[in-house]
Structures are given as structure tokens and as C-alpha cells.
Structure 1
Amino acid sequence: MKVFIIGVSGAVGRLLARNLTERGEDVSGLVRRDEQRMALLTQGVDAHVGELADVTASSLASMLGGIDAVVYTAGSNGGAREVTAAIDGEGVVKALEAASLADVNRFALVSVLPEAGRGQNLSDDEEFYFAVKKLVDVTVSVSDLDWLILRPSMLVDRAGIGRISLGPAQPHDEIAREDVAATLAELLHEPRIRQQILELTQGSTPIINAVRANIR
């Protein structure tokens, strides 16, 4: 499998790239700086350098020759509105169009649980972030691609436990980024899971079993 990760230098993107390369998959992606590209090369990842906000759908499509799946893990984490609009909004739409132009049918998006941050006196910028995420989820879900939207609960930096809870609706809790990446890798290898929105949090079910339970 050849996988192109937008956000490959980010926390989840790097972990996903490592998981996939350890499986023997061919991983490439988009990074902002040449030093990021060089660091990823040492891990067996061939990245292109470019600003997501500046590349066009057609130029992004030119990077996707022979790719089997595009995974979008980039995100602004609820910062300034212009960044959220460019990365969480326009960037996803651009990537979706690029996948279509390049005849890449499989498209996976890492989104966010709608309940995340509720009751925490969110700022206007954070509310804007959740609104953009929702609109983009809708845009992806009405596309003709073989899409998948994964909504993890609060991401934490600790070792993964390899056990999750995965399904159409999950409570807002927390989950290790390692487990998110491992779940994504399993989902990419399960073609029968397609055109679904799945929510993800820590749980008691082994990842591979949780993925298989969502085959329909």
C-alpha cells in the first residue's frame, strides 16, 4: 500500500507513518520545511515540501501518482481563525479535490469529537474551530470517494494500550495518540470499512477486533 499523509510531520502523522513503514508500506507526505523532509527520510518516508495553505489542488494531485490512500491528519488545534480556516477547512477541501483529480479513491480524515471541550468556556476562535470541523466532515461525507472520518476523543501523549472503543458514537474521554495512529493503520487495511464516521476513545477491546466489529 502507498499512503500519502498530509500532516506527516505532526504528532499523529509521524506515528502513523512509523506504524505503516514498520508494516512494509510505502509512505509519503507533505511537510512545510526541508529539515522536516530530511528527518523523515531517515525513517523511510519520502516527503514533499510545501505550504498547505499555498499549494493548489492540482499541484497537490501531482504528488499523488500511484498513491492508494490519502490520510489527512493536519490540524490547527483551535488557534487563530485564519489558520483554522486554512488548515482545518480549506486544506481538507483541497486535499479531497486533489485525491479526486489523482484518482485516489481512499481518503481518511482525522477530525474531532463534537463534544470535545464542551462546558469549558470555549473562546470564539475555539467555537469557530468546531464549526469548521463539522462543515468539513459534511463535505467529506457527501463526496464520491471511499472516505472515512475518524473522530478521536482528547489526544494525550502517553504510550498506547492497544485497546480502544470504536463506533458511530462514543463518549468524550481521552486516547493516546499512539492508539489513534494504530487504529488508523488498521482501518486503512480494512477496505470493507468505507464511507463511515467512527468515533474513537480508549477502551477494553483490542484494536484489530474493534475495527472488525465495524465492518458492515
Structure 2
Amino acid sequence: MSDTPLRLVIFDVDGTLVDSQADILGAMHLAFSAEGLATPPRDQVLGVVGLSLDVLMPQLAPQADPDTHSRLVQGYKDSYMQLRALSGAAQSSPLYPGARDVLEALQAQPDTLLGVATGKSRRGLDKLIEGHGLHGLFVTQQVADFHPSKPHPAMLHSALSETGVRAEHAVMVGDTSFDMDMAAAAGIAGIGVGWGYHSADRLGAAAHTIESFAALVPLLDSIWSD
């Protein structure tokens, strides 16, 4: 029996595993247009990706009232679902280069578990997993339906609880400051990625950074070599 401790690699989804910005921007435009509001600039929208919708809409539309925020949330959800249905999840939210190979390589390690912690809804994550054929990869799946928005550490606390992995044996891989701040709050090492929606200068809470998926497995080997 292996004396290696069980390890957990938790991934953010949008901007980390998949590039969903086309549908995010398209759905946001449709939602705002339906309310007669100007769509926020691209950088502003991508800057809040990762937050739960009920948290990010007041940031994107600070002058709107709560009822309008609620309609924007629902309008975004409906529009995103419609856009995804047009081309399918795999086409509308493609995996970043190297993502599938790394996920499969990590899954093949007997002492490594995989999880996700995402601002997506349960429905949205299920559609993505189905579209990319990722069934069975993620043993713990934390979604926005059941937790406070990132960077609150509730998602990561639940992931550790569900898997029985200690915080020092887990990492959080993500592209935003929300992911890195969440990891720090949970006592988990954050690995910031350079291909997502937040620039490197916003990932100050990251313990490590990588510029490609190919760098992840060697980094984890280094982190866990002690």
C-alpha cells in the first residue's frame, strides 16, 4: 500500500480549462440589450468572470436596481444556454491546448484526485463535462449554486472535506485573482495560469504561476517532491 498522501488538484473552469469568452461576451450583450442597457466593455466583463452572477451583475451595472440585476442574471443564463445549444459546449467552450492530456495524466496517478471549483451553475458544468466527454475525471465538483461567490473559501473547504485531503496536499489552479485569493483563504497553494482572463499582475496571491499546461505536472512533481 502506498505511503504517499492523497493529493488533490482543483481546477477553475472558465479561463483555466476552457476558453468560453465568446459565449460569455455574447450572452452578456444579449442580457444587457434586453434591458436597454449598454453592454459593459470586454475587459470589464472578463475581469469579473469567476464571480457568481448575483455578485458580478451589480458590479457591471452599478446604477441598476436589484430587480434589474435579477433580470440580467436570468437573461444571461438563458442567453448563454441558447448560444451553447447553437454549436455545442465543446465548440463554444473549447479546452485550452494541453488541458485534456494533463487531466488524463493526473488522473492516471494513483494518489492524485481531481476536482473543480467554478462560478458556473451545476447545469452549466454538467453540460460542459458532457460536451467534452470528461465524465469521471472530477471526484469533487463545487459550483456556484451551493456556495458563496469566490473568493470565499467555502468551495475549497467542501472539496477537502469530500475527498479527505489535507490542505497542504492540495492545489488550486486558476486564472483569476478570485481563484488565488480563495486558495490563500483556504490554506491551499494557488497556481495561477497565464492564458486566462486576468493579467499576471492581478495574481499576486498565487504561490506559483505557469504559462502552459505542459508546465503543470512538472511543477506539481516539484511541489510534492518533499
Q: Bin the TM-score by the shorter chain.
A: 0.3 to 0.5
Larger RCO (alpha carbons 8 Å, 6+ apart): 2
Normalised TM-score (structure 1): 0.45
- Whichever structure has more strand as a proportion of its residues is 1
Normalised TM-score (structure 2): 0.44
- Whichever structure has more helix as a proportion of its residues is 2
